Structure 1
Amino acid sequence: MIIEVLKSKIHRVRVTQADLNYVGSITIDEDLMDAANMIAGEKVAVVNNNNGARFETYIIKGRRGSGEICVNGAAARLVSVGDVLIIISYCHLEFEQAKCFRPWIVFPDTNTNRLIK
């Protein structure tokens, strides 16, 4: 049996930009992507803690060290600059493998969206 489980989570980052006229996606600082073991083009679920909106999109690599979190395209209507988001990716694993799988969970500084050292 194959099940879907949490693979990666970036917990509580702030939206730095919302660009309605972009083709789509979410731009994420490459440092955060690396820490969460996420890649460009990966499908993610995004949860807005401020208004409860949830949406799915894909990742675009942002400038390393910038703290950039930009929601692009139609989803930009679901956020405001300064909103706090949780960004989640999932993977499919065999049931027995999933029992011992440990996801990558990142808790960046909520004010700067940078990794806490």
Structure 2
Amino acid sequence: MLLNLLKSKIHCAVVTEANLQYMGSITIDSDLMKAAHILPNERVQVVNNNNGTRLETYVIPGKAGSGVICLNGAAARLVQPNDIVIIMAYVFMHQEEAEVYQPLVVMVDAKNKIKEIRYIEYENQYN
């Protein structure tokens, strides 16, 4: 049996653009993608802290160092520039892996520059 767990997230990123005319996806600064171990075309969930919407889409890399977080296509209707979002990637793993896995969190500042990278640590309830 495989479980679906949080792999990594970019926490409290600022939406820089919303482009209704571009074919769907989310454009993310490739430096942030690399830091969060998110690959091009990977499925992500985006949670908008400003209005509570949640959506799923796939990632396309943006210019490294640009700080770009742009929701494209229909998803552009669910965000506004300057909204705060959490971008989460998930992974399937076996229970044995899941019991010791620690998700990666990339904390960013108001310009979407990396402030901190850390792992979420939980007390292991299975030991």
Normalised by the size of structure 2, how large is the TM-score? 0.89
- CA distance in structure 2 between the aligned counterparts of 1:116 and 1:53, rounded to whole angstroms: 25
- CA distance in structure 2 between the aligned counterparts of 1:16 and 1:97, rounded to whole angstroms: 36
- Provide the aligned C-alpha RMSD in A: 0.8
Q: Give aligned pairs, total.
A: 116
- CA distance in structure 2 between the aligned counterparts of 1:105 and 1:99, rounded to whole angstroms: 18
Larger RCO, structures 1/2 (Cα 8 Å, 6+ apart): 1
More divergent stretch after superposition (96-105 vs 24-33): 96-105
Q: 2:36: which partner in 1?
A: 36
The structural deviation recorded for 1:44 is 0.1
SS of residue in 1 equivalent to 2:98: helix
Counterparts in 2 of 1:1-117, with a 5 A limit?
1-109=1-109, 111-116=110-115
* 1:67-107 deviation per Cα after TM superposition (whole angstroms, max 9, x unaligned): 00000000100000000000001000001111111121110
Normalised by the size of structure 1, how large is the TM-score? 0.97
Identity %: 53
SS of residue in 1 equivalent to 2:81: coil
- CA distance in structure 2 between the aligned counterparts of 1:12 and 1:107, rounded to whole angstroms: 7
- CA distance in structure 1 between the aligned counterparts of 2:53 and 2:103, rounded to whole angstroms: 23
Which runs of 5 or more structure 2 residues have no equivalent in the other structure? 117-127
Q: Which amino acid aligns with 2:66?
A: S
Q: Which amino acid aligns with 1:76?
A: A
SS of residue in 1 equivalent to 2:8: strand
